[in-house]
Structure 1
Amino acid sequence: MSTVRDGVTAEEHRSRSIPGPLRPGRGPTLLTVGSISALSALSALSAVVLLRLTGGLEPPAVGGLPDPGVITRWGLPAAAAARDLAFAAVTGLLLVVVALLEPLDRRGDLSATQAHLLTRVGWASLLWAGCGFAEFALTYSDLSAEPVQSVGPMTLLQFATSVEAGRALAFAATAALVVALTATYVRRMSGAAFLLGIVTSAGWALATTGHAAGDADHDVAVTTQFLHVGSAAVWVGGLLTLVVLRRRRALALVTVQRWSRVAGWAWALVALTGSVAVWLRLDGIGDLLSPYGGLVGLKTTGLLLLGFAGYLHRRHVLTRWGSGGSWFARLVTVELVLMAATFGAAVALSRSEPPATELVPLDSATALLGYPMPPPLDAAQWFTQWRLDPLWGTAALVLLVTYHRGARRLRQRGDRWSRGRTAAWTVGCFGLFWATSGAPGVYGEVLFSMHMVQHMTIATAVPAFLVLGAPVTLALRALQRRTDASWGPREWLIYVVHSWPAYLLGNPVVAASVFITGLVGFYYSPLFELSLETHTGHVVMTAHFLVAGYLFANAVCGVDPGPPRPPYPLRVLLLMTTFGFHAFFSISLMASSEVLAESWFAQLGREWGPDLLRDQYVGASLGWGLGDYPLAVLVAALLWSWVRADARERRRRDRKVDREGDRELDRYNDRLAALAGRGVRREDGAAGGSGTAPTQPSGTGQ
């Protein structure tokens, strides 16, 4: 008799868990390296052809400008296009593995299908790494106008460590190589998710080198490029994965239905971010008549055709799935060809200059900040200065809308959800939006004092209100449970909440240590200046402050599932100690005569407001003073939680007494009676043992 574990018999367990050649008709049709390579070659050919037609491959026409050589001029766009296609394949394959397919069991062991897909991830990552390193060398050749065959390894090493574009390209190619070497050894869902995280970080690095990343509005351009490339990768890579699974009808139908919804959102995001990128680089409608505008038109046409193919896919293929796969095969083939050509058009667009416009000299502040120096800060500017942060401002709005949708879903099905928690979450999201897109976001890189306002809001105030909103509890109640064994958002949330990193970082002592050491390590190291100079550093800084503050606030007064929280007196002690250290840090900064990130603030050329040292003193004072109201919020929440916990304990005890009687009180009374009885018997025994009445002691006067 076969034993059953997690609903899987031993025979099925062995057949699904041990990777090996899949039997025809039962396993997925394997996507060979040649298939991805062919699509990458098609994308590269499209880029080269379009650049040839628009004159983008010709040597410099202006006399005296050096030419990097024909290998660089032709090879760089080809390598970039092939890299983009391989990156998309890796992203889509990993996304399907972690979100759309069923693992082997509830513990997260990968099934044989997922293991084979990870094998394809390894091969596609190897192609991505090869194209990425080639693009790295060709980019240096293009920037230095030196033929690639004469570039030495030490020169490339210096390019990878000293130049921002070189660091980004080297990091992305190295990340691809790491994924290629480790993908085939991953056998858990958590490992596949970790690989997806590496790929996402590499995608961010690639976005910093995109054609829009060099625009004046750098942070908007980089974030837009990241969302554009990422959504396109999910879309294209997901379709490639469907080709892998096309013969497993029962499995592929479920996967296709889920992926169809993801693809619709991805298409909309590609269209939106592409429109923003074009708007940043073109001055008017008339620029669309230029060769650059022609490439924009070709890319837009390809996007519209792909959207129409997606509509046909949803409307006809899914309804005819059981009658045969010819519709699917034909439509997917057309889609993949269109996608490869569109990727090539995107690379050709990145290698083409927009129409010539009147060049306006940039002052030092605009060149460093990406936007003009804001006006002098007064009371009105705190409310009137706004500049949308494309990443964190959008994230705040998405978090707000998602939370309210979850609360409304609970109310629609008759469940209650606290309006106070909804109000707390709303305040937290608005605080995050204001800190990143309002006056602190506008002046945070100009004045240290406003940077400290931004820091205190993100690290202390916003997390306190977000924790009081109990988002994990709401998500677990509002998100739908997957009907099959695959892991959706709810399943992944449960896994993350109960994972060992969450238990480690959510430990109150660890959370407080991260909160404190992160503060000191950030400001008394080059990280502070790095966060001002680079958009990536600023994004990481904001994420660190927000996550560290959330973990600490959740350990003190949170109600969501997580690590065991200490008794309430210890929480009060931990809270006071941590904020006391924060106040001590502010006081030490007030007493300092050394200006932090002095070179950055001096280059801005600010002609209004206090001098650098005075502004730093004001910022440290604000850091000290602004710690009071988040502390008051946390203390109030902690005391309220303490009172409610005591009330719940009393009610629980009263119900137990009503149901079973007060056994503890009865045992206590019995104990007292027993002690009293032994005392009476001891006195009686002492009196009866003498045989005579006790005599009066001498000296009584009788």
Structure 2
Amino acid sequence: MPRSVRVLGPAVLTLVALVATFAGLAYGGGAAEQLIQDPGPVARYGVPVAKLFVNLGAAGMIGALVLAVWALTPKRREFDLALDVAAASAAVMTVASAASGLFTFLVVTGAPFDIGDTFGQQLGQFVTTIELGQAWLTTTLVAATVTVLCFAVRNHTALVFVTVLAVTSLVPLAQQGHAAGSAGHSEAITALGLHLVFAAAWVGGLVTIVLLRRELGVDRLPVVLARYSTVALVCFIVVALSGYASAALRVGTLDELATPYGVLVLVKLTALVALGLFGAAQRRFLIGRMSRAGASGTGTFWLLVVVELAFMGLASGVAAALARTATPVSEAEAGSLARTPAEILTGEPLPPWPDWTRYFTEWSPDLIWLLACGFGIFFYLAGVRRLRKRGDRWPVYRAVLWVAGLVLLAYVTNGGVNVYEQYLFSAHMLGHMVLTMAVPVLLVPGAPVTLAARSIRPRDDGSRGGREWILLAVHSKFAGVIANPIVAAVLFAGSLWVFYYSPLFRWTMVDHIGHEWMIVHFLITGYLFVQSLIGIDPVPYRLPYPFRLVLLLGTMAFHAFFGLAIMSGTGLLLADWYGAMGWGTDALVDQQLGGGIAWSIGEIPTVALAITVAVQWSRSDEKESKRRDRHADRTGDAELEEYNARLAAIADHDLRAE
């Protein structure tokens, strides 16, 4: 079995996926003949089958790259072979994406396939001017670029950027999913995007390990598997939650689970549960058994792997069929909810009018930040627990501040602020101030880099885990530049003007990706600025305490000037957005209120920062005094005696001169 698993495992995955795709299409009617301009069975079945191979190619590409970056050693041949797997998978994805674009064109237009000039012109217009065609063209070009880079790049650090590029190839696919144009479209795009990326890393990582079985050997295999199992556990949690969110948006009510779409969702859920059980068995029993028993303990493991790949194929095939199956909650029904100008602009049902209690009772979940905050709290507390188990101390206040910061971040990205920031400039500015000032003031004293450096076990085989990647990023030249106090202050204050008085502001309103970028930008610039003032984690350079206070006061004066400029402004920043919501409110007054929030609320963290800098300055002086006292005790005041002797010598010399 172990010798044949390299062929049997991927073959079972592909075969089961194909069977599940055709069965799902037959049951759900996803490839049924169209009543008007039917493109024929080749195109109808070609779309989901090509999409299946797009997903499998993406899985091999992303899974192999993640495994190379996280678990494998560049000095070993396993590293190069994993990149070869990634390149081959990216090539499959490139061809499958091009085929998907062609079949999609045939289905959308109903045009028969031919090799004439007219057909080529129509196809070219589809992929260059129509959003759906542009998405497939983008996916094809990105996958082709990753194919080349996987052959050309062997630098461990550069491969991180190749992996990020590979992940971006799935963004157009997420934007094509069900409900992408209806109410709840932001949640749908987020859930589908997370589902695609983490499912790809999960499936592709296991396939890559199977293909590298001979190269890894008996001794190396348990080590790589243990690292992969950590990634797989995270992927399982994300895939399960994002799958639930996607199903909730598309199914609607529990009664709709009896529809063909609902039944296929239940089949996929069953496969997911089985995969979770397989992963638990691997993590708890088989990896440790292999480490102890060597080659004699691998038979059961490889049998389980083949079965696991079969269930992965089942889930992948059903997912491809679901993409072509009509959902119980159709986009037409969801779109019919839009009756106000606000709903037409945002695509979301208009929320209730916001009195102050609504900011605590209304919710608009953003799964990305819920997961990020949840994992951030879990891994931080796990690090603290590991330190204490080995007898090391970690201040309680740091953990409390870190958890409080992430809870606040989760609220501002999922609670009432996130609900109303699309409709009211004041709500948007409130979220901005919390993200860029309040959250970093809580997170920075948590010292996450210091905790990671102390709690994560270092690796000695040349691979890079969490500790190695974090320290590499912190000590990189780029980090040295942006962490410089002056640069951090310029980014913090200057980006206010650039953001609000440039097309970036509009992009963050109309595009969900822009909205996510905005959150990341505000959070990072605020974190860098606060880190330069009161940070505990290591940075290349810190200003003396007096200059820190000067920098803080100067930056916040610039920040206050921005708030006053908004308060006194007489023109709307986004007149065709905030001025067209149709709520019957004065958008200019609300914008001026937002300026007041920027000016006033920003002062509260400023006072906290100033007090913290002053306290740290005082403690630094006390530590320096104690250090000098200890030095004097050890040397018997040698420095003072030497200084007095020097003064006496000078006085004696003066007496002689007289």
TM-score by length of 2: 0.89
Q: 1:132 pairs with 87, 97, 119, which one? A: 97
Gaps of 5+ in 1: 1-24, 105-110, 684-702
Aligned to 1:120: 85
1:624 and 1:71 mapped to 2: Cα distance?
62
Q: Let me know the Cα RMSD of the aligned residues.
A: 3.1
Q: Which amino acid aligns with 1:681?
A: R
User: Which residues of 2 match residues 480-499 of structure 1 at below 5 A?
Assistant: 480-482=457-459, 484-499=461-476
Q: Do residues 303 (structure 1) and 272 (structure 2) align?
A: yes
User: Which residues of 2 match residues 239-318 of structure 1 at below 5 A?
Assistant: 239-247=206-214, 248-310=217-279, 313=282, 315=285
Q: Is the 8 A contact 2:183 2:349 kept in 1?
A: no
Q: Is the 8 A contact 1:77 1:348 kept in 2?
A: yes
2:126 and 2:567 mapped to 1: Cα distance?
39
Q: Do residues 425 (structure 1) and 402 (structure 2) align?
A: yes
Most deviating of 631-640 and 674-683? 674-683
Most deviating of 138-147 and 653-662? 138-147
How far residue 160 of structure 1 moved from its aligned partner, in angstroms, is: 4.9
How far residue 198 of structure 1 moved from its aligned partner, in angstroms, is: 1.9
Q: Do residues 477 (structure 1) and 444 (structure 2) align?
A: no
Q: Do residues 338 (structure 1) and 311 (structure 2) align?
A: yes
| CA displacement 1:477-502 (0-9 Å, x = unmatched) | 23333465432222222222212222
SS class of match (1:189): coil
Most deviating of 444-453 and 275-284? 275-284
CA 1:413–1:309 in 2, change beyond 3 Å: closer, same or farther? closer
Q: Which amino acid aligns with 2:421?
A: G
1:272 and 1:573 mapped to 2: Cα distance?
47
1:340 and 1:103 mapped to 2: Cα distance?
30
Aligned to 2:380: 403
Q: Is the 8 A contact 1:71 1:148 kept in 2?
A: no
1:177 and 1:29 mapped to 2: Cα distance?
31
2:374 and 2:311 mapped to 1: Cα distance?
34
Most deviating of 589-598 and 300-309? 300-309
Q: Which amino acid aligns with 2:518?
A: M
Aligned to 2:153: 186
2:182 and 2:11 mapped to 1: Cα distance?
32
CA 1:528–1:161 in 2, change beyond 3 Å: closer, same or farther? farther
How far residue 329 of structure 1 moved from its aligned partner, in angstroms, is: 4.1
Q: Is the 8 A contact 1:586 1:624 kept in 2?
A: yes
SS class of match (2:577): helix
Q: Do residues 642 (structure 1) and 611 (structure 2) align?
A: no
1:274 and 1:502 mapped to 2: Cα distance?
36
1:348 and 1:304 mapped to 2: Cα distance?
19
Q: Is the 8 A contact 2:25 2:321 kept in 1?
A: yes
TM-score by length of 1: 0.84
Q: Which amino acid aligns with 1:57?
A: A
Q: Is the 8 A contact 2:12 2:309 kept in 1?
A: no
Q: Is the 8 A contact 1:31 1:120 kept in 2?
A: no
1:166 and 1:57 mapped to 2: Cα distance?
20
How far residue 568 of structure 1 moved from its aligned partner, in angstroms, is: 1.7
How far residue 242 of structure 1 moved from its aligned partner, in angstroms, is: 1.4
Most deviating of 278-287 and 228-237? 278-287
1:161 and 1:499 mapped to 2: Cα distance?
41
2:431 and 2:148 mapped to 1: Cα distance?
41
Aligned to 1:668: 643
Aligned to 2:368: 391
Gaps of 5+ in 2: none
Q: 1:58 pairs with 32, 36, 45, which one? A: 32
CA 1:57–1:88 in 2, change beyond 3 Å: closer, same or farther? same
How far residue 328 of structure 1 moved from its aligned partner, in angstroms, is: 4.1
Q: 2:525 pairs with 527, 530, 548, which one? A: 548
CA 1:525–1:140 in 2, change beyond 3 Å: closer, same or farther? farther
Q: Which amino acid aligns with 1:83?
A: V
1:397 and 1:368 mapped to 2: Cα distance?
32
Q: Which amino acid aligns with 1:225?
A: L
Most deviating of 249-258 and 308-317? 308-317
Aligned to 1:456: 433
CA 1:31–1:516 in 2, change beyond 3 Å: closer, same or farther? farther
SS class of match (1:599): coil
2:654 and 2:546 mapped to 1: Cα distance?
40
CA 1:613–1:317 in 2, change beyond 3 Å: closer, same or farther? closer
Q: Which amino acid aligns with 2:526?
A: G
CA 1:162–1:335 in 2, change beyond 3 Å: closer, same or farther? same
| CA displacement 1:139-161 (0-9 Å, x = unmatched) | 45544555565554687477557
CA 1:37–1:389 in 2, change beyond 3 Å: closer, same or farther? same
Q: Is the 8 A contact 1:68 1:146 kept in 2?
A: yes
- Percent identity (aligned): 37
How far residue 548 of structure 1 moved from its aligned partner, in angstroms, is: 1.0
CA 1:138–1:614 in 2, change beyond 3 Å: closer, same or farther? farther
User: Which residues of 2 match residues 288-687 of structure 1 at below 5 A?
Assistant: 288-310=257-279, 313=282, 315=285, 319=289, 321-323=294-296, 325-355=298-328, 359=333, 361-363=336-338, 364=340, 365-366=342-343, 368-482=345-459, 484-607=461-584, 610-683=585-658
1:230 and 1:151 mapped to 2: Cα distance?
34
